[in-house]
Amino acid sequence: MDSQGGITVRRALELPGLRGGLPEVVACADRLDRTVRWVHAGEAPNIASLLKGGELLLTTGLGLGARPAEQRAFVRGLAERGIVALVVELGPRFERLPPAIVETARAAGLPLVQLRREVPFVSVTEEIHTEIVNGHYALVRRADEVHRRCTRALLDGGGVEGVLRILADFAGNPVFLETAEGRLLYAAAPGTGRAAADPLQVWDGLRGSRGAREAGPPADAVLVDVAGGGGPGTGAGAVRARLVLPAVSAPPLPVHRLAVERAAGLLAVVLMQARQDEELAARGRGDFLTDLAEGRIRAEDAPAQAKVLGFAPGAGPLLPVVTVLAPELLPPGNWAPLARAVLEELSSVGVPVLLGVRPLEGRVPLLLGLRGASERTVVADRVAAALRAGVARAGLERPGTRPPVVVVGATGGWDGVGAALRHAAETATAARGLSERPWHDARRLDIDLLLWRLRDDPDLAAFVERAIGPLRAHDRVSRPALLPTLEAFLAHAGRKAETARALHLNRQTLYNRLARISELLGTDLDDPQTVLALGLALRARRHTP
């Protein structure tokens, strides 16, 4: 038996069946270590078309042909098909193999054996096949033993790293667990101590070569998918990660692939459990932040509970932040990949962070610890960028989707942070209709929050229609649209020069548009009460049909 679970040509010739035929190797005696996948006996001239490769072919030579050209074509066809050896029994057809057959086999690199005594091919086939099956069974037993060791490692708390170390030692090559997108999760190399190779250096080398080739892992590597639910938008059987066993010290053998495939089943369970734990932890933090916002946790009890959840800010103020995801961005299943991606992005902000998820509301609430109130704007900028990057990293951001709405609340201590967090959460829901910004300041959105709460009141819709209805009707049928001009004019507090620059218009064109707006609305745009009403109507229309 060889290390791949079959037997070699050399071993087949040593078995009693073929040894009784007094075998003589007449070509390519240096290639007898090829692995025999199967044994076939036949005499048909076109027998090469019936083979798949890896066979040891037994024949009496009846199909070899009488002319040298036929004999050469027969041998070349077998070599091209990929058989491992040709065994010809001498007798009535050949007393000795013709030179054309021997020379062609030698030129093609095909081991050629002649049997000087008759042997029963059935017995030879049965004997070799039994040896092959026993070899495969031995491989399965070796893989089973590795599987048992991996299972024990997990039960003993060795985790994913322990499993990878066992695989690496068994295969004599480093082993990597990567995400479906190719990001490294775990790595292990064979051996211990200073003599052990650094798997990260190997990974960097592989990553460089893979980037240059723009195609997966090296062709000679063993690659096994670890199922168990991938990222957003994937089903329960989707690829969660991949085991990669590259050929660094030596090419991986079939028994190594078998061991890796067995280990993949174990790791699928581990990763699924880890995802469930992550999901529960993220939801638990979200529940704590919601309870804090709703006043179900007393201010004096909050620091201790937050510490249990891993949040221990200093003596500085706390900053609440709430992100609301658009419906098309919501993870269809587990929220753990999103929470993990956002937390990894937030690590660069450099302040303590407590992040939770609220799947039913589509919210991601956060609490951050600042060193001083002056950090609020800088930290808010970084947090907003990290939140958006985390959503994209989790695979949720796609072309045409609305970015998440980020609302930053007021800073304060534990005694006031609950109310600030609740205000930020309510304002974040109301801010979904506002123009896109990196983040919104909850302290400046009270009017929008009030209008959002009145969104179903028919009086609000009637107010909007009275105030700007004629402009809306105009913009549905005529160009240029005038509502954007009115919005820009009010946003710049009636300063016409700034409004013209913002709209990239010359002043006369702006004056003409403002005159047309006044005419349609029957109002004076220089009247403060009119400006106030129009500003409220423009805000309210974002929350009304």
Taking only the tens of pLDDT, the chain with its 545 residues reads: 444 456 889 988 988 988 888 999 999 999 998 888 888 888 888 888 888 888 899 998 888 888 999 999 999 999 998 999 999 999 888 888 999 999 999 999 999 999 999 889 888 888 888 888 777 777 788 888 888 888 888 888 888 888 888 998 888 888 888 877 677 778 888 875 444 557 777 777 766 554 433 445 566 788 888 875 444 334 444 456 888 888 888 788 888 888 888 888 888 888 777 777 777 788 888 899 999 999 999 999 999 999 988 898 988 999 999 998 887 777 766 687 888 888 888 888 889 999 988 888 888 999 999 999 899 999 999 999 988 888 888 877 777 677 888 999 999 999 999 999 999 988 887 777 677 788 988 888 777 767 777 777 888 888 888 888 898 889 888 888 889 899 888 888 889 899 999 899 998 999 999 999 988 888 888 888 888 888 888 887 877 76
The answer to whether 86 touches 78, Cβ cutoff 8 Å, is yes
All structural domains of the chain with their residue ranges: 7-131, 158-273, 298-445, 458-540
Which residue bears the tokens 């581990």?
270
Which residue bears the tokens 């902000």?
349
Find out if CATH 3.40.1390.20 is the number for domain 7-131.
yes
Q: 545 to each of 327, 452, 457, 542, how far by Cα in Å?
A: 18, 12, 11, 8
Give every CB contact of residue 288 below 8 A, 6+ residues apart in sequence: 297, 305, 306, 309, 354, 356
Please state which CATH class domain 158-273 belongs to.
Answer: alpha beta
Superfamily classification of domain 298-445: ACT domain (3.30.70.260)
Q: 439 to each of 66, 376, 382, 384, 406, how far by Cα in Å?
A: 87, 12, 10, 6, 5
H helix intervals, 58-198: 68-81, 99-108, 121-155, 159-171
The answer to whether 118 touches 21, Cβ cutoff 8 Å, is yes
- Peptide bond before residue 480 is cis, with ω within 30 degrees of 0: yes
Question: Beta 318-324 vs 239-245: how paired, if at all?
Answer: unpaired
Find out if CATH 2.40.30.10 is the number for domain 458-540.
no
Q: Count Cα neighbours of 528 within 13 Å in the Cβ-side half-sphere.
A: 0
The answer to whether 203 touches 217, Cβ cutoff 8 Å, is no
Nearest to 472 by CA among 527, 534, 526: 534
Phi-psi region of 522 (alpha: psi -120 to 50; beta: other; left: phi over 0): left
Question: Beta 239-245 vs 222-227: how paired, if at all?
Answer: antiparallel
The answer to whether 432 touches 323, Cβ cutoff 8 Å, is no
CA 399 to the chain's CA centroid: 19
